Amino acid sequence: MNGLPILYSFRRCPYAMRARMAVLASGVAVELREVVLRAKPDAMLAASPKGTVPVLVLADGRVVDESLEIMRWALAVCDPLDWLGGDDAALIADCDATFKHHLDRYKYPERHGSDPDEHRAAGVAWLSGLEARLAHAANLCGDAVGLADIAIFPFVRQFAATDRAWFDTQALPRVRAWLAAHVGSPLFDRAMLRVPRWQAGDAPVRLG
Ligand SMILES: N[C@@H](CCC(=O)N[C@@H](CS)C(=O)NCC(=O)O)C(=O)O
């Protein structure tokens, strides 16, 4: 597999999930390197010293180290499902800023010194915006699955899983159905493939 782009990833990271899904949807072949966040490989840090996953290292040495940029790079190569037809950069940016802020402070109050109830309520308020959008169509930018859905649902999945019984009592029936469809999709299943932690010298593992 020499010459394939290399994707450094962490299975449970929502940013890495959306990058893996876009790569899979594009059909672009990449070598998948599963990392452990507390022991990031030197090769990854040499490519991207900021030390976040995902990181894509292209065959010509260029480095793409933001998950959305990896999604857009893969879909620019090939977009057979027309995910770029379901893009909403402003909504995705708001998810990454506002919703992620509340998600972290709800899920990890001890890390942030935060009041989880306050941030849980703010998260639900943000999700009620999605609920309103989903009144018009099955997905965020229309009936077809698009980039916005894939960029956002991994974070909603984390939020829902923090206290599933409570989440299920919230007035978010369309968000729940939308989330279930994405979590239950064969593509998500493929993106959540379990691979051993990568170490230098390992035989390459291909995503997909
Ligand atoms: N803006 C980045 C954020 C990526 C990010 O924060 N990933 C987390 C894992 S979910 C990470 O690598 N954190 C570094 C660490 O925990 O050491 C992106 O979209 O790729």
Per-residue pLDDT tens over the stretch 122-151: 999 999 999 999 999 999 999 999 999 999
Please indicate whether residue 185, judged by its CB atom, sits closer than 6 Å to ligand 1.
no
Half-sphere exposure of 182 (CA within 13 A, CB side): 26
Measured by CA distance, the residue closest to atom 8 of ligand 1 is: 52
pLDDT (0 to 100) of residue 136:
92
Helix (H, G, I), strand (E, B) or coil at 87: coil
Sheet holding 6-9, edge to edge: 31-34, 6-9, 55-57, 63-64
Average pLDDT over residues 149-161: 99
Which is nearest to 33 in space by CA: 203, 197, 201, 208? 197
User: Rounded to an integer, what distance in angstroms lies between the CA atom of residue 122 and that of residue 128?
Assistant: 10
Measured by CA distance, the residue closest to atom 2 of ligand 1 is: 66
pLDDT (0 to 100) of residue 2:
58
Average pLDDT over residues 58-65: 96
Q: What ligand 1 atom has the least distance to the C-alpha of 65?
A: 20
Q: What ligand 1 atom has the least distance to the C-alpha of 12?
A: 10
In the predicted structure, residue 19 carries a pLDDT above the cut 60: yes
Average pLDDT over residues 5-33: 98
Average pLDDT over residues 51-57: 98
Measured by CA distance, the residue closest to atom 16 of ligand 1 is: 37
pTM for this model (two decimals): 0.97
pLDDT range class, residue 3, cuts 50, 70, 90:
confident
Model confidence pLDDT, tens digit, residues 76-99:
999 999 999 999 999 999 999 999
In the predicted structure, residue 1 carries a pLDDT above the cut 50: no
Measured by CA distance, the residue closest to atom 5 of ligand 1 is: 52
Please indicate whether residue 11, judged by its CB atom, sits closer than 6 Å to ligand 1.
no
User: Rounded to an integer, what distance in angstroms lies between the CA atom of residue 137 and that of residue 144?
Assistant: 9
Residue 47 in tokens: 């490519």
Residues whose CB falls within 8 Å of the CB of residue 162, separated by 6 or more in sequence, listed in order? 106, 107, 120
Residues whose CB falls within 8 Å of the CB of residue 95, separated by 6 or more in sequence, listed in order? 126, 151, 152, 155
In the predicted structure, residue 208 carries a pLDDT above the cut 80: no
User: Rounded to an integer, what distance in angstroms lies between the CA atom of residue 102 and that of residue 126?
Assistant: 9
In the predicted structure, residue 17 carries a pLDDT above the cut 60: yes
